[in-house]
A = this chain, B = another copy of it.
Amino acid sequence: LTPHSPHRRLGVWLIGARGSISTCVAYGLAGLREGLLEPVGIATEYEPLSRLSLASLDDIALGGHDVCMRDLSLSAAELVKHGILSSDLVAASAPHIAAFETRIRAGALDEPDVGVADLDPRSARLGGAPPREQIARIAQDIDEFRRELDLRRVVVVNVASTEAFRHELSEWSDLDAFERALDTGRSQPASMLYAYAALTSGCPYVNFTPNRGSSPAALRELARQKKLPHCGSDGKTGETLVKTVLAPLFASRALRVLAWQGYNMLGNRDGEVLADVSHRETKVKNKNEALRSILNDERLHTHVGIDFVPSLQDWKTAWDFIHFEGFLGAKMSLQFTWSGSDSCLAAPLVIDLARLADFAAENGEAGEMLHTASYFKAPIGGGSHDFHAQFDALVAYAERHLAPGRSRGASRERGSTPRA
């Protein structure tokens, strides 16, 4: 275990670099550096994860791809209007954001969306090119980022919009078959091309989206072959998070869940994309799967709705109704309303995952990062969906890797809510 040089920074390459999650990551890191923010929500800044030798938040450099051309400052102005970012923070972060902006390149648009969306023409062109050509361009952009900033390592994180659903292709189950398919030029999901490019460029890969990314067996084989850690998919930020916290209660108490109805409303770009049925399919499947796996009752009646409500903007609101039966046949209910800023919930998880992927690579760990399951709706590698069981696994991982020399005094206290 070689300690990394303190003088070379960690690069985080964001696919979807102009989206609201990336915007929150960028302004958040800037705000922390400028002393305007506390690291609330970044679990790796609190005990016990903070005791791992993770890359410092001050040593993270950002770059990325996007398929649209909108200035980050425009996204930021919108988030100010929606009450997410403060105008003081935006002003103070300007130099950091300008630097990030210069490191954003035109990405590859997923082929089914080519011609549909009003986006960067270079992305549309690239999305229509043969897969091998797309991969080469992606890899080249990442390499330039690494070289220009003399980065110690680059972690690639996919925070792009949800892709249209595609049925599984036979070549996804085997790396050789996938390589051949790439050679023949058969169209593949952009998220898989990004994952392929990342892994072949020596970058750990994090898939925060419900897209295929590195989940298919072919890509998982590639990660093992390249001895690189990766994780995903579909960040667990809101309603599903609460679901996987509450559902184990019913199982533990032997209460029978009769119906679990979940209605999600969201108003940002994510909501707009998910308003389309073909883009919604994977997301709904992931949300349902988690519940069924925990409750393990084939009679369970469950429904997940996702509706686009533009006026909500980034404030996702979800209502869940849980109908359950207790002793003596009594029918009872629990209902909850979740109201949160999706981007503010996602951004700190992206930071955590980039640091954990870097740490795993530093430790020579390859393949699925099973200890990160608590971050995802559909963890690669499977396992329990019970949030507490997943989080316990993360704590156990941290305890196994604790740097004995690290001073406890310097880090935050475990298991407590953050303090000022």
Contact = CB atoms under 8 A, between A and B. Distances in A.
B332 A256 contact: no
A419 B31 contact: no
A40 interface: yes
A417 interface: yes
Interface in A135-150: none
Contacts of A85: 328
Interface string A329-343: 111111111111100
Interface in A239-273: 241-242, 245-246, 248-259, 261, 263, 265
Interface residues of A, number: 92
A301 B310 CA distance: 8
Interface stretch (A41-49, A155-163, A192-200, A279-287): A41-49
B328 A344 contact: yes
A39 B42 CA distance: 41
Contacts of A330: 83-84, 340-341, 344
Interface string A13-56: 00000000000100110010000010111110110000000000
A81 B256 CA distance: 18
Interface string A407-420: 00000010111111
Nearest to A44: B254
A254 B89 contact: no
A37 B300 contact: no
A7 interface: no
Interface string A115-158: 00000000000000000000000000000000000000000000
Nearest to A24: B328
A312 B258 CA distance: 9
A392 B336 CA distance: 25
A307 interface: yes
Contacts of A413: 296
A382 to B, nearest CB: 15
A300 B319 CA distance: 21
B329 A341 contact: no
Contact of A417 (B241, B300, B347): B300
A258 B43 contact: no
Contact of A296 (B249, B301, B416): B416
A68 to B, nearest CB: 22
Contacts of A295: 416-417
The 5 A-B residue pairs whose C-beta atoms are closest, nearest first, are A258-B311, A296-B416, A41-B327, A388-B388, A330-B344
Given A257-B417, A265-B321, A303-B307, 5 more contacts: A39-B254, A83-B83, A241-B249, A245-B245, A254-B418
